[in-house]
Amino acid sequence: MTETQNRRRPLNRGRVQAAAVQVADRDGLKGITMRSVADLLGVEAMALYRHVSGKNDLLDSLVEVVVAEINDACDALPAPEDPADWRTNLRRRILTARATLLEHRWAPALISSHGTMGPALMRYFDEFGAILAAGGFTLDTIHHALHAFGPRALGFSPELFEPEAPAVTETDLDEEAALADMAAMAETLPFLARMAEHLSHEASTTLGWCDDQDEFEFGLDVMLDGLEKRLER
C-alpha cells in the first residue's frame, strides 16, 4: 500500500522539502536526517539524492522555502496607505515575517547558520530596501541599514541566553540554595543581582520573565528610532 502511494505521488524536490519541514516542525533541526526525511516519505534515504545534492543542499533549500512562505505572507498584506511612511510599512513587514517564523521555530537557527542568499531572500530584501528608499533614505544608508538589521529584518533576533530546557520542578527550587546564590551573586555580580531582584518583583506583569514578542518589538523600535535620526532632510 505504501507502494501504491509511491506510484501515485512520485518524489520530487518539493515533496522532499515539504517532508523535511514537517520533520523539523516535529523534531527540531537535529531531527532532520536523510533517513528520517526518507522514512516520512516511505522511501529509502538514498532516494533523496536524486532530488537534492546532499544534506547541505536540502538545508539550504529549506531556508528558501521558509522565506518564500514569508514573501507570500507579505504579498497578502494590503497595500501600504502611505508609501512614504517607511516606518509603518517596514514594521508591518517585519512583524509579518516574524509571525511566519513563529510557525517554524527551527528556522531562525537554520537561517543564521546558512549564509546563502537565494532568490527568495533576495526578493524579500528587494522590497525591504524599496520601502526604505520610498521613505527617502539614500542608497548608502539603506545598504548600511540592511547590515545593521541583520536577522531582525526577517523578524527574529538571536537570543544569547535561551533556556532550552527550563524544567525547574517546583520542589527543586531549593529556597536555601537560592538564597545562597543570591548572596554570592550580590557580591560578584552586584548589578545582575539588583536586576534579578527587580525583575522578580514585577514578574507578574508579564508572562514569564521575558516576553519574546515584547522584547523583539522593543529592539525593533530602538533600531527604527536610530535609523530615523539618519534620515537627512
Partner DNA sequence: CGCGCCCCGTTTACAAGGTAAACATGTTTA
Partner DNA sequence: TAAACATGTTTACCTTGTAAACGGGGCGCG
Which cell numbers hold the place of 162? Answer: 535561551
Residue list 144-203, contact with its own copies (CB under 8 A) = 144-145, 147-151, 153-154, 157-164, 188-192, 194-195, 198-199, 202
CA angle 198, 221, 107 (to 5 degrees): 90
40/193 with CB nearer its own copies: 193
Task: Report the distance separating Cα 82 and Cα 92, nearest Å.
Answer: 13
116 contributes a contact to DNA by CB under 7 A? no
| CA 205 centroid distance within chain | 26
Contacts of 168 (CB under 8 A, 6+ apart): none
CB–CB of 36/23 below 8 Å?
A: yes
230 contributes a contact to DNA by CB under 7 A? no
CB–CB of 85/93 below 8 Å?
A: no
CA angle 123, 125, 128 (to 5 degrees): 115
Stretch near its own copies under the rule CB under 8 A, chosen from 2-10, 13-21, 110-118, 166-174: 110-118
20/90 with CB nearer DNA: 20
The item of DNA, its own copies, none sharing an interface with residue 145, based on CB under 5 to 8 Å by kind, is: its own copies
Among 19, 32, 101, 145, binds DNA (CB under 7 A): 32
Helix (H) or strand (E) holding 138: none
Contacting positions for DNA (CB under 7 A): 6-7, 10-11, 32-36, 38, 43-47, 49-51, 54-56
Contacting positions for its own copies (CB under 8 A): 109, 111-113, 115, 117, 121-123, 125-127, 129-130, 133, 139-140, 142-145, 147-151, 153-154, 157-164, 188-192, 194-195, 198-199, 202, 210, 215, 218-219, 221-227, 229-230
